[in-house]
């Protein structure tokens, strides 16, 4: 196995709101977490987007699933309070908004952050979000493709025009534009398992965002991505990323005692949207430092993961517990995992 650059780590921010907290408190706690991530040496923070995540849509859960409706508004806030972390969206749901607005919002965030934006995009998967905005969910793939073409077009073309099925753009020059050239890195949320999706991502020079696939499936996708990038003549040193819940305590027993109720809350809040079982619990990076290191090493060696996005504030965890877990992760887990490097080929 050949190693390259060091492994990287980010933090993921869904911004759940248990009814024990106000929206203002949720935002304030994540602001604390952004500042700490920057101070501790995390490489990135990642912001999500959801709409109408209220009780009528998420029954039997004592809280809101997500209160981050505008990831680029939040990205601008993050830009003002951090200096080093990259700021990604995981993801901006492209079919839900006019692409010119998305292009402007992301460009502003890129400027305010000094060129730290990672443009993570996806189709969306919650039907009620499309219904609430009166957008036919069956159109989401076509809308996604059209929106991304427009956004990249206005970012890179001095005078751009477009005639599409859903949007038309008169000849214009977009202001403002991102300061990263030709544009911020593009990350696409993908469901693994198809050559077509991976070929699409690789052929455009984009990066993949994935979440809950087990290591063996991620490893297969990694090999397909290497093959596709090789066919395109692209660099083999590329980020291969997944999201995992991460909770670190002094020991496995302490992690179980302190963290289990918050894992249970998260599982309950998302169960209606996709089936969840013990296999997903088993994929969490959860336990004492040595257990967490072993989990991350498996992701690196079996799946090719060299960029782990750590979901550390989940299920209503008190902010003091989140910050303690982050600090312990950086002190005891991250230094050893940095040494794993970015594997160039997943283990057979």
| Weakest-pLDDT range from 34-38, 101-105, 193-197, 202-206 | 193-197
The answer to whether position 149 is within a domain reads no
The answer to whether position 145 is within a domain reads no
Put simply, whether the predicted model's pTM sits higher than 0.85 gets the answer: yes
The answer to whether position 225 is within a domain reads yes
| Weakest-pLDDT range from 70-74, 261-265, 272-276 | 272-276
Parallel, antiparallel or unpaired: strands 17-18 and 63-64? antiparallel
Q: Give yes or no for residue 64 having a pLDDT over 90.
A: no
Q: Give yes or no for residue 138 having a pLDDT over 90.
A: yes
The pair of structure tokens assigned to 46 is: 């990642």
Residue whose structure tokens are 């995009």: 121
Parallel, antiparallel or unpaired: strands 168-172 and 160-163? antiparallel
- Select from 104, 3, 25, 32 the least CA-distant residue to 323: 32
Which of the four pLDDT bands, split at 50, 70 and 90, describes residue 22? very high
Helix (H) or strand (E) holding 153: helix 140-156
Which of the four pLDDT bands, split at 50, 70 and 90, describes residue 245? very high
The answer to whether position 106 is within a domain reads no
The answer to whether position 345 is within a domain reads no
Q: Please state the domain count of the chain.
A: 1
Residue 320 belongs to a domain with what CATH number? 3.20.20.30
Which of the four pLDDT bands, split at 50, 70 and 90, describes residue 264? confident
Please tell me the predicted confidence (pLDDT) of residue 1: 30
Domain that holds residue 31: 8-90+190-338
The one-character DSSP state at 95 is G
**Do the Cβ atoms of 87 and 72 come closer than 8 Å?**
no
**Mean predicted confidence (pLDDT) in 127-152:** 97
The one-character DSSP state at 185 is P
Convert the pLDDT of each residue in 168-227 to its tens digit: 999 999 999 999 999 999 999 987 656 888 999 999 999 999 977 889 999 999 999 999
Distance between CA atoms of residues 270 and 268, nearest Å: 6
Please tell me the predicted confidence (pLDDT) of residue 343: 47
Which of the four pLDDT bands, split at 50, 70 and 90, describes residue 65? confident
Q: Report how far apart the first and last C-alpha atoms of the chain are (Å, whole number).
A: 10
The answer to whether position 102 is within a domain reads no
The answer to whether position 312 is within a domain reads yes
Which of the four pLDDT bands, split at 50, 70 and 90, describes residue 167? very high
The answer to whether position 327 is within a domain reads yes
**Do the Cβ atoms of 166 and 139 come closer than 8 Å?**
yes
């Amino acid at each position: 196995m050949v190693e390259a650059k060091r492994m990287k780590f980010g933090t993921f921010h869904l911004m759940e709101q248990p009814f024990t907290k106000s929206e203002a408190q949720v935002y304030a706690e994540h602001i604390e977490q952004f500042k700490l991530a920057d101070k501790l040496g995390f490489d990135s923070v990642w912001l999500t987007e959801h709409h109408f995540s209220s009780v009528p849509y998420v029954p039997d859960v004592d809280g809101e699933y997500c209160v981050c409706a505008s990831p680029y508004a939040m990205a601008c806030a993050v830009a003002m309070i951090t200096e080093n972390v990259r700021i990604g969206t995981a993801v901006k749901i492209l079919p839900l908004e006019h692409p010119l607005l998305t292009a402007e919002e992301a460009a502003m965030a890129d400027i305010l952050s000094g060129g730290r934006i990672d443009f993570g995009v996806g189709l969306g998967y919650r039907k009620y979000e499309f219904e609430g905005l009166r957008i036919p969910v069956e159109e989401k793939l076509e809308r996604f493709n059209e929106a991304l073409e427009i956004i990249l077009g206005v970012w890179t073309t001095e005078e751009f025009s477009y005639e599409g099925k859903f949007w038309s753009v008169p000849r214009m020059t977009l202001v403002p534009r991102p300061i990263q050239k030709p544009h911020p890195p593009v990350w696409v949320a993908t469901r693994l398992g198809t050559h077509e999706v991976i070929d699409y991502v690789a052929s455009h020079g984009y990066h993949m965002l994935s979440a809950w696939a087990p290591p063996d499936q991620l490893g297969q996708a990694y090999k397909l991505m290497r093959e596709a990038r090789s066919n395109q003549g692209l660099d083999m040193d590329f980020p291969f990323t997944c999201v995992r819940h991460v909770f670190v305590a002094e020991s496995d027993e302490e992690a179980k005692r302190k963290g289990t109720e918050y894992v249970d809350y998260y599982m309950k809040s998302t169960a209606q949207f996709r089936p969840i079982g013990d296999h997903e619990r088993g994929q969490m990076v959860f336990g004492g430092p040595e257990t967490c290191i072993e989990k991350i090493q498996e992701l690196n060696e079996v799946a090719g993961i060299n960029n782990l996005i750590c979901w550390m504030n989940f299920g209503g965890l008190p902010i003091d517990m989140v910050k303690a877990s982050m600090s312990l992760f950086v002190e005891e887990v991250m230094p050893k995992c940095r040494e794993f490097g970015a594997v160039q080929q997943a283990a057979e």
